[in-house]
Structure 1
Amino acid sequence: MNLHLFIPSLFWSDITFPQVYHDLSLPSLEALLSKSQATTSPASDTNAWLCQAFDIKKQLDWPVAPITLQTDSIDHEVKTTKDYWLRADPVHLRIEQNHIMLADNYTFELTREEANQFTGVINQHLADDDITLLPLHSHRWYIRLTTAPKLHTHTLNSATCKNINNLLPTGEDSVKWHKLFNEIQMLLYEHPLNLVRAARNKIAINSIWFWGGGYPPQSIRSTYSHLWSNEAFSQSLANISNTLSNPLPENTGNWLKDNDEGNHIIILDSLLNKDQYNLSYEWRENLKELENTWFLPLFNALKNNQINELRISTTNENFSCDFVIKRNSLWKFWTTIKPLHFYAVSQ
């Protein structure tokens, strides 16, 4: 079996805070990385990385919307035609000094009923623009257009916890979308729906984020035989590429016993939000958990010849990195085991 782990934010993005690595005990992970063949590349957004892993070609944007649509439309009477699709996800904006910061659904809950109510209000306002929001998932809203706008957007992931002033759509048609963006903010500001949320001590849904537009990709072929993930976009990629897909296994040891062939990819994305929202304690604790539940069993599996090749890929705000460990890599007795922060500061 060959195994590819994708672990966004395996390294802490804030390089001015090296103390985050202090006293972290990660012997299996550090041994794996130290005995690997490592290559670095420029920083990559998580969605972009996943698209490239499944050989999805970039259009004006990475076409996330038409891909997740294939999954989200299953329970709805929506024809996933060859039209252009754009994501328009609910977000919370807050003003900090001279910046407008964006928070995604990691910070708030939104029921299906609330999603229908918010999109109903917005659709009534946008009726003259011939634009309709489709809340096919409580946190994933869609717009269908008959022709592609000349628009370049930034993924929601890359805008999360960032000043959005320089991340708004660009391109020949961007003025129209900036106008819609501003109008929707004004519409939702102190709207009765948000007043109800405030009374329940819930964060306001005061904007939407346009991103991930494109046409449905054609004839997608994956190099992976199996995907194991709880992350929605990767599950959708598996769906359109006819790759077998399952949730993350609960027990790595049992999973290794049951899967001894094939080319598997596992998405471990639990560190990402902790890194984005600067939750250093939670990030450390999560990494310790991954050491016990994943890195230790996989290190032993390599030693026991259960895995032919293990690839660990990660990306954060500063760089992307691949670590390839083969069976015989563990016999590199001359290599020095380096601490995790070595890789974070040496890029």
Structure 2
Amino acid sequence: MATATLLLPARHRLAGQPLPVDVARALGRADRQSGQAGEREQLRRHFRLVPDHWPVAALTRQLDAGDAEGATWLRADPARVSPDMNGARMLAYGEALALDAEDTDQLLPALKPLFGDAGFLLDAPQPSRWYLRLPAEARLPAFAPINDVLGDDLFAHLPEGDDGRRWRALLTEAQIVLHNHPWNARRIAAGKAPVNSLWFWGGGRLPQSVTTRFRQVKGQDTLLRALAHAAGVTAEGEGGAVDALIDLRHLRQLDVLVRDALQPLLAALARRELRVLELDFEDGDRFTLRRDQRWRFWRRPLTRLGGADAGLTA
């Protein structure tokens, strides 16, 4: 029999509605663990990288272009920032800017000499994901993940120290080039957001290996797809019953999660079509459900996600 693991958002994003009786009972009787919160730690629970690092740029580059071997890669993603009283706030990046090939054809030639003079090659195999190719031995400072910067002051997340000085200068120069580029004026006139900044993040080299216990990975998230690709796993997987990892982190409505995923999977568990169902929340909480837990009748139902959890009865 197969197993299914659901990648889910943090529980507080699904809080507020009571759980249906059958789901509340099943979660109350489930085995429960707590782990580290965050997207990175959630994915690391299911993928093992050797060496143990997190080179997002190299992984997604291999997915996008297949040429990540032999170099250090850094994402230089297009972004929109807006000045405010404290500095400059990132309002959008990547796919949210609705970029196409014409945008990259217009903007990248103006930026390439800036990075070429620094010894880096800038290109964009996907309009929303831009990359810098660096020498394999390049030293990089710690860059903040772009999701941590979104909505916040850019300058609070810039790399520090001597290693960061060069990248702070490159960012400033790139912002000047983009601010003065006539293509941004055309985007604004067309009702689109300008591309007036970059964000450097995700640096590193491609891992020697990526492994996972899953034979099928379903989801549209780029990093998840890149990890699955590196591990040799496809969305289709193999025929028959296989261990599957299913990405539902985009969900924000509890009723949709219950109707489309939890209740059908609990029914499959009851029919012995599924051996184990695991719910992995981004806040680190995990529930493991098995058919034999139906005998734990002394445990209270978990009536809500994200609220006060019911414990065991005496």
**TM-score, structure 2 normalization:** 0.87
Q: What amino acid sits opposite 1:5 in the alignment? A: L
Count of aligned pairs between the two proteins: 307
User: Aligned to 1:309, which of 263, 267, 276?
Assistant: 276
1:32-43 matches, within 5 Å, as 32-43=26-37
Say if 2:64 and 2:125, in contact at 8 Å, map to a contact too.
yes
Q: Deviations over 1:201-221 (max 9, x none)?
A: 111111111111111111322
User: Aligned to 1:91, which of 49, 66, 79?
Assistant: 79
Q: Deviations over 1:283-316 (max 9, x none)?
A: 3xx332222111111121122222111111111x
Aligned counterparts of 2:130 and 2:11: Cα–Cα separation in 1: 29
1:248-327 matches, within 5 Å, as 261-271=241-251, 283=252, 286-315=253-282, 319-327=283-291
Q: Deviations over 1:5-49 (max 9, x none)?
A: 11133433xxxxxxx8444565555444322222223322x2453
Aligned counterparts of 1:305 and 1:198: Cα–Cα separation in 2: 57
Matched with 2:12 is 11
Q: 1:116 to 1:288 in 2, by over 3 A?
A: farther
Taking only aligned residues, the RMSD between alpha carbons, in angstroms, comes to 2.7
Aligned counterparts of 2:26 and 2:80: Cα–Cα separation in 1: 39
Aligned counterparts of 2:181 and 2:298: Cα–Cα separation in 1: 65
Say if 2:11 and 2:305, in contact at 8 Å, map to a contact too.
no
Q: Deviations over 1:46-94 (max 9, x none)?
A: 24532452112576x62011111111004xxxx4331111111111112
Say if 1:28 and 1:291, in contact at 8 Å, map to a contact too.
no
* Structure of larger gyration radius: 2
Say if 2:47 and 2:227, in contact at 8 Å, map to a contact too.
yes
Q: What amino acid sits opposite 1:159 in the alignment? A: V
Aligned counterparts of 1:122 and 1:48: Cα–Cα separation in 2: 34
Runs of 5+ consecutive residues of structure 1 not aligned to the other structure: 13-19, 248-257, 272-282
Aligned counterparts of 1:192 and 1:297: Cα–Cα separation in 2: 53
Q: Deviations over 1:101-138 (max 9, x none)?
A: 32223532111221232222111333322222110111
Q: 1:183 to 1:123 in 2, by over 3 A?
A: same
Q: Quote the offset at 1:192 in angstroms.
A: 1.1
Name whichever of 102-111 and 306-315 sits farther off: 102-111
1:233 equivalent to 2:223? Answer yes
Aligned counterparts of 2:51 and 2:88: Cα–Cα separation in 1: 28
Matched with 1:329 is 293
User: Aligned to 1:65, which of 41, 52, 57?
Assistant: 57
Say if 1:7 and 1:267, in contact at 8 Å, map to a contact too.
yes
Aligned counterparts of 1:159 and 1:324: Cα–Cα separation in 2: 33
Say if 1:150 and 1:172, in contact at 8 Å, map to a contact too.
no
Matched with 1:55 is 48
Matched with 2:304 is 339
Q: What amino acid sits opposite 1:63 in the alignment? A: P
Q: 1:6 to 1:23 in 2, by over 3 A?
A: closer
Aligned counterparts of 2:257 and 2:10: Cα–Cα separation in 1: 13
- State percent identity of aligned pairs: 25
Q: Quote the offset at 1:197 in angstroms.
A: 0.9
Q: 1:246 to 1:189 in 2, by over 3 A?
A: farther
Q: 1:297 to 1:113 in 2, by over 3 A?
A: same
Aligned counterparts of 1:144 and 1:214: Cα–Cα separation in 2: 10
Runs of 5+ consecutive residues of structure 2 not aligned to the other structure: none
Q: What amino acid sits opposite 2:63 in the alignment? A: T
Runs of 4+ in 1 over 6 A off after TM superposition: none
Q: Quote the offset at 1:334 in angstroms.
A: 2.3
Q: Deviations over 1:186-241 (max 9, x none)?
A: 22125211111111111111111111111111132221111111212111111111
Aligned counterparts of 1:296 and 1:193: Cα–Cα separation in 2: 50
SS for the counterpart of 1:100 is strand
Say if 2:17 and 2:304, in contact at 8 Å, map to a contact too.
no
1:105-254 matches, within 5 Å, as 105=94, 107-146=96-135, 147-170=137-160, 172-246=162-236
SS for the counterpart of 1:177 is helix
Q: What amino acid sits opposite 1:327 in the alignment? A: R
Q: What amino acid sits opposite 1:89 in the alignment? A: D
Aligned counterparts of 1:27 and 1:118: Cα–Cα separation in 2: 55
**TM-score, structure 1 normalization:** 0.79
Q: What amino acid sits opposite 1:4 in the alignment? A: T
Q: Deviations over 1:159-207 (max 9, x none)?
A: 2233333322245411000111111112212521111111111111111
